[in-house]
Amino acid sequence: MTRAYAVFAAGLLLLFGSGLPGTRSQPASFPLELLQIAGGNFVHFGAVAMMNRDNEGGIANLGLIVGEDAVAVVDTGGSQREGERFLAAIRTVTPKPIRYVINTHMHPDHVFGNGAFAAERAAYVGHSNLPRALATRASFYLNAFRRSLGDALIDEVKIVPPSDLVRDAMVLDLGMRALILKAWPAAHTDNDLTVLDTASGTLFAGDLLFVRHVPVLDGSILGWLSVLREMARIPAARVVPGHGPVPDDWRGALAEQRRYFERLTQEVRGLISRGVPIAAAAGVAEAEKGRWELFEEYHARNATAAYSELEWE
């Protein structure tokens, strides 16, 4: 399903002689594995899993875009520790200054590493709704993830809100490499931002695209369906999802996600029109089970969120 990548970190892994099974809480300087997916584009692929101590919150895909003069980072990871290890990996690839730290949205697995880039004097860039979203959730996230990540990882996390806001679209230049940032209407969340690298044609979709990992609804199901139609028209050569591998056929991956949400919408509308209460919503769209990982963890929640949105139609 995925194309072949050049493995950059393999040598480093050998060098550090790690590979000790079960080693965890790597020193912050131990670089994450960073794979080149296109000219000037690198990705650290997060685990398709829930955030926990062992993975240091490292479940989201993290992007690095290298221009002539400077680089941009797309999401920073699920802990300060992961952010530091991402930064260490970046320094194995390029010594260029980090000009932009871009957050694709508010979720902890994408922003908890922001503090690791504080010394880089980068501009932090996000959707214009991101500051509000972080303000209303950050304390809750820090409390809630203490249970799964543990005190050591959570105590280090600093919430860094964006300094540069994208209201509609924005172009950033890294030197011979223009990035088009687009702020979307409510879909996965109400602060989703995508990054299109015009030099390579790579679209960093954040969590507007999930591959393998069941999509997670924390914004608007109808909004997301309409955003998916619009995204399909982007002239991208490839798309990096927020979770899961880079798909060979990214429009096909968008279509799979659309099928999931259309089925959910249709079946939840059926419940609502028959007067079935929201507590029964978790049982809808069973046909999707088996097609996605982490279905048990997120599907009931998606159905509940969809119900509470669609009952106002």
Partner 1 sequence: MPKWSKRAWIAALLACALGSLTQPSRAAEDPWPGLASDIFKGRPLEDGTGLLALDMPARAEDAAIVPLTIRAVLPPGDPRRVTGLTIVIDENPAPVAASFVLGPGISSLSTRVRVDSYTHVHAVAELSDGKLYAVKTYVKASGGCSAPALKNADAAATALGQMKFRLFATSAQAPRREAQIMVRHPNNSGLQMDQLTRLYIPAFFVRELRVWQGEDLVLAMDGGISISQDPNLRFSYVPNGAKRFRAEAIDTEQHVFRGEWPADAPDM
Toward partner 1, which CB reaches closer, 51 or 72? 51
Contact characters 47-86, partner 1, x per CB under 8 A = ---xx-----------------------------------
Of 106, 303, 252, nearest to 192 by C-alpha is 106
Toward partner 1, which CB reaches closer, 1 or 50? 50
Toward partner 1, which CB reaches closer, 75 or 309? 309
**Parallel, antiparallel, or unpaired: how do β-strands 193-197 and 178-183 relate?**
antiparallel
Q: Does 128 bind partner 1 (CB under 8 A)?
A: no
Query: In the structure encoding, which two tokens stand for residue 39, read together?
Result: 């000219």
Q: Does 305 bind partner 1 (CB under 8 A)?
A: yes
Query: In the structure encoding, which two tokens stand for residue 70, read together?
Result: 């400077």
Please list, in sequence order, all residues whose beta carbon lies within 8 angstroms of the beta carbon of residue 69, skipping any fewer than 6 positions away: 96, 97, 99, 174, 175
d(CA 80, CA 259): 36
Site for partner 1 (CB under 8 A): how many residues?
Answer: 48
d(CA 232, CA 86): 30
Q: Which stretch binds partner 1 (CB under 8 A): 69-77, 83-91, 285-293, 298-306?
A: 298-306
d(CA 173, CA 99): 9
Q: Which of 94, 212, 282, 293 binds partner 1 (CB under 8 A)?
A: 282
Q: Which of 82, 109, 256, 288 binds partner 1 (CB under 8 A)?
A: 109
Contact characters 193-232, partner 1, x per CB under 8 A = -----------------------x-xxx--x---------
Please list, in sequence order, all residues whose beta carbon lies within 8 angstroms of the beta carbon of residue 47, skipping any fewer than 6 positions away: 55, 58, 59
Q: Which of 56, 75, 82, 190 binds partner 1 (CB under 8 A)?
A: 190
Q: Does 297 bind partner 1 (CB under 8 A)?
A: yes
- 3-state helix/strand/coil string of 13-49: HHHHCCCCCCCCCCCCCCCCCCEEEECCEEEECCCCC
Q: Which of 3, 14, 273, 289 binds partner 1 (CB under 8 A)?
A: 273
d(CA 56, CA 24): 8
Residues that bind partner 1 (CB under 8 A): 50-51, 107-109, 129, 131-141, 143-144, 147-148, 159, 161, 186, 189-190, 216, 218-220, 223, 273-275, 277-279, 282, 297-298, 300-301, 304-305, 308-309, 311-312
